[in-house]
């Protein structure tokens, strides 16, 4: 049975981890208020990190809500996602989405990321 935990090793923790994704982003998935950058890692699992600035989402409560919803979705989809490091970039307007809309959007993003990774894997 698959475990759906969110341990420390599933997170991007250091600035170097984030820099590696920004410099070598292989897969980019974009929705209007959200950008996902990812690059392959040498681990057996995906990792995730967030860049949600005060400039784009003013209130800490709203930043935390967005982070919590995306983190939960990642936790549930971690076994389907490829072995990549993922950075979630929030843009203006993301905090305006209701919870169900945000859930649907992140689901679409995960499926597009999975398809792009599978296509790249087939071509290599």
**Residue 121: what pLDDT?**
82
Q: Tokens 């969110």 — which residue?
A: 6
Q: Tokens 């967030």 — which residue?
A: 50
Asked if 63 and 57 count as a contact pair (C-beta separation under 8 A), the reply is yes
Beta strands in 42-113 (DSSP E): 47-51, 84-90
Could you read off the pLDDT of 5-48 as tens digits, one per residue?
A: 888 899 999 999 999 999 999 999 999 999 999 999 999 999 99
Q: Which 3 state secondary structure label does DSSP give 91? A: coil
Q: Which 3 state secondary structure label does DSSP give 97? A: coil
Q: What is the pTM of this model?
A: 0.92
> Taking the CB of residue 86, how many other CB atoms lie within 10 A of it?
26
Residue 1 has pLDDT above 60, yes or no: no
Could you read off the pLDDT of 94-106 as tens digits, one per residue?
A: 999 999 999 999 9
Residue 2 has pLDDT above 80, yes or no: no
Could you read off the pLDDT of 46-98 as tens digits, one per residue?
A: 999 999 999 999 999 999 999 999 999 999 999 999 999 999 999 999 999 99
Tell me the pLDDT band of 123, cut-offs 50, 70 and 90: confident
DSSP letter at 80?
T
**Residue 3: what pLDDT?**
78
Asked if 49 and 88 count as a contact pair (C-beta separation under 8 A), the reply is yes
Contacts of 16 by beta carbon, 8 Å cutoff, 6+ apart: none
Residue 18 in tokens: 């984030």
């Amino acid at each position: 049975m698959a475990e759906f935990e969110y341990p420390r090793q599933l997170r991007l923790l250091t600035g170097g981890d984030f820099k590696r994704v920004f410099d070598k982003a292989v897969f980019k998935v974009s929705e209007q208020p959200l950008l996902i950058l990812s690059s392959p890692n040498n681990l057996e699992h995906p990792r995730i990190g967030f860049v949600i600035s005060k400039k784009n989402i003013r209130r800490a409560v709203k930043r935390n809500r967005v982070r919590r919803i995306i983190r939960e979705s990642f936790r549930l989809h971690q076994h389907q996602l490829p072995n990549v490091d993922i950075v979630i970039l929030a843009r203006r307007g993301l905090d305006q989405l209701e919870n169900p809309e945000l859930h649907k959007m992140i689901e679409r993003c995960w499926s597009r990321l999975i398809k792009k990774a599978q296509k790249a894997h087939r071509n290599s």
